[in-house]
Amino acid sequence: MNIETRTVFFVMKGEDAGSLMMDVRTEPEIAKEGGQPEKIYGYATQLNAGMYVANNSYPIEWDSNKERFVVYIPPRTKVN
């Protein structure tokens, strides 16, 4: 598994909340939730993205529309 440091954007309520340089996998894992396969390139956790996420782990995904790595933060999540 190859890992590269890339800019990851945090999106909250459809708006950019900011970005961080994070390690992402170049070959994603395939997670199947709700029958829909998703490509996951890593996870944003309190250790590596504490300014944007609390206690949960959020997947790093590829936004093909804007061609960037993103973490979609659910609306009820408090940003530190």
Q: What is the pLDDT of residue 47?
A: 94
Report pTM. 0.84
Residue 58 has pLDDT above 90, yes or no: yes
DSSP three-state, residue 63: strand
The four Cα atoms 20, 23, 28, 34 give a dihedral, to 10 degrees, of: -50
Q: For residue range 1-47, list pLDDT tens digits in order.
A: 799 999 999 999 899 999 999 999 988 888 776 666 779 999 999 99
Scan for tokens 């309190």, then name that residue. Answer: 46
Residue 38's DSSP bridge partners are: 31
What phi and psi values does residue 47 have, to the nearest 5 degrees?
-75, -40
Measured CA to CA, the distance from residue 35 to residue 45 in angstroms comes to 25
Measured CA to CA, the distance from residue 46 to residue 39 in angstroms comes to 21
